Chain A
């Protein structure tokens, strides 16, 4: 574990009723790194994210964000520490407008009294508007999220992630349901974000992963199968075996 390792998973296992969703998984992500994770269905990608964000308690192993043991914290505490997550199935708040969705995500004191006293000041408004611009939803700011298209919901969720201003972003299948153009835009966005913060992207779309141009981890049956550049892993016989069948 180097001094700039930001996320540290060592020997993590998760067992559901005898089924090992994660099997002695070890994974390290550096500060400012962009990392793609691929793997077949049931490889444990989403479970890994659940473990990092506190949704699922690991059966065993170490999970650390910098020097903090994440297994002791709940989702909210982990999120406020600076880990943001975008879900596989976009979850935005349908009853609220696009603007309000972003406002909720905006990094600010989270306590009930603070929320009650919250006044949207110039700086915050400017940041929300910037983000709206970035995700291309400026025109729809006052629309309720319920009426957005699938792609737009994806964007909105990415926007919310940005508003949180996290140090580590966990992004689960960000481009599902997006057009090619949108996909490209997303890849560019993620690349830009990386550098100042760390990004972990889980994705099926290998073209998109290629566009990210980063280190790739291949997961299978709850542990790491292979790691390297996209080309390296694509030629790894074990990976080929997993993807093309035995």
Chain B
């Protein structure tokens, strides 16, 4: 309450000053006092500044955006830079003192984006131009038509040209002239973009005269969007599938190959996520910070593998041949690991940041947008699968592992240290789970409960795919992901999951050995 008043009174004062006929006011100075006012007034001032074409506007607006625009109690505005603080009017150097940053909200930020866009559309930096072109698309004002045309005539970079054309079309919709508007409608009809649809519908509401043309344009866009939606759903399914694949791969080794039911598998995943967090914290502020995530992959693998090896040598090996007991015991181990992590790191979520190259969307030819982190996780999932296959097929360790699985006694007589192979296999499976944790730290909570959400799904994937078959795990995970995502829009997320689970249960009872069942005598045993 107090703060409101303190902001408001000087503003009134300033208004009086502003309207005092002291000297001729240009657009810049008339707009300025608004910046010390309420959010609405700031937004208005920003819009005015955007169209002012005043050279002082750009640094001022940038300062506002970065929180470097300060305001004194009396409403004087100051710009803070690395070099020092200067007054906006007059430009004389001064002390910041008790001045506070001018705060912005969404409304102001929206206005800023548009204003900066119009001001930067002719910038020499192509990145800024592209951003500006995008911003202008959203702010869509008829005032932008002329600058956009100018910009378009000079632009050489194809990506920016495309965006400029879009923005121009959008701005034309805001023109008072229906002929110009129709130009815009025609251009937007060729775009496959939800924002274009939104713009057109908005225009339709404002200009009912053009309803017919706009409807036709929207129908065209929607037709293409529908196709894209199918592709998007498929991508989302694959991405969910790759998460399931990552979570299940470790299990495919420990359960599928060794037959060990490890209920603490989810906790191995969780440990991997915490390893990611620890690596990130260790690298924070060092030159390694940008590559913390790739560095976390081996770290997570090693941590989870070490815990796995200890678990196998210390506990699980005494229970071979008694899978149900192993199940119960590892459940207890899971409880202990969870609580240990909770006591060490606290119950709160830990923040694992995504590196810049994993954020945002990636635009494919045809305008299809895929989220970067999901793309990376799909790639990572396939890489890890490749790693597992390679380790089992082409290494000495893989050979010994397969030998021990097929016939422990004969393998032992061949000089293979079966105990060591068991420990390594289990450690390997656990390590894979740890690597999955790195991926999950990018999309889910890094909390002690992280693993519990994945354990049942992982078991379902392995059993559905066929125990002991990596191909089955891959196909099973991807299928479950796609089916789940395809059903979600109709059934809702919860029901989709329930239906998928029931579906798997029915499937398993028809084919108890899963999709890629091992056939023959080995399976009969």
Contacts and interface: CB of A to CB of B under 8 A. Distances in A.
Say if the two chains contact directly (CB < 8 Å). Answer: yes
Interface of A: 16-17, 19
B519 interface: yes
Contacts of A16: 519-521
A17 B521 CA distance: 9
A5 to B, nearest CB: 30
Q: How large is the interface on B (under 10, 10 to 19, 20 to 34, 35 or more residues)?
A: under 10
B517 to A, nearest CB: 11
Interface in B7-37: none
Contacts of A17: 519-520
Contacts of B519: 16-17
Interface string B503-525: 00000000000000001110000
A16 B522 CA distance: 10
Interface in B397-452: none
The 3 closest A-B pairs by CB, nearest first: A17-B520, A16-B520, A17-B519
Nearest to A47: B521
Contacts of B521: 16
B516 to A, nearest CB: 14
A95 to B, nearest CB: 16
Contacts, number: 6
Interface string B378-389: 000000000000
Nearest to A56: B524
A19 B519 CA distance: 11
Nearest to A16: B520
A57 to B, nearest CB: 11
6 contacts: A16-B519, A16-B520, A16-B521, A17-B519, A17-B520, A19-B520
A17 B519 CA distance: 7
A17 B518 CA distance: 10
A17 B522 CA distance: 11
Nearest to A18: B520
Contacts of A19: 520
A16 B519 CA distance: 8
Contacts of B520: 16-17, 19
A89 to B, nearest CB: 13
A19 B520 CA distance: 9
A19 to B, nearest CB: 7
Nearest to B519: A17
A16 B520 CA distance: 5
A19 B521 CA distance: 10
A20 to B, nearest CB: 12
A115 to B, nearest CB: 25
Nearest to A19: B520
B348 to A, nearest CB: 51
A16 B521 CA distance: 7
A16 B524 CA distance: 10
Nearest to A21: B521
A16 B517 CA distance: 13
B518 to A, nearest CB: 9
Nearest to A55: B524
A216 B520 CA distance: 30
A16 B523 CA distance: 11
Nearest to B518: A17
B522 to A, nearest CB: 9
A224 B369 CA distance: 68
A16 B518 CA distance: 11
Interface in B479-525: 519-521
A153 B521 CA distance: 26
A146 B519 CA distance: 33
Nearest to A15: B520
A131 to B, nearest CB: 32
A47 to B, nearest CB: 10
B509 to A, nearest CB: 16
B135 to A, nearest CB: 64
A163 B521 CA distance: 31
Nearest to B521: A16
A141 B367 CA distance: 82
A230 to B, nearest CB: 31
Interface in B268-319: none
A17 B524 CA distance: 12
A77 B519 CA distance: 25
B511 to A, nearest CB: 15
Nearest to A17: B520
B318 to A, nearest CB: 22
A19 B522 CA distance: 13
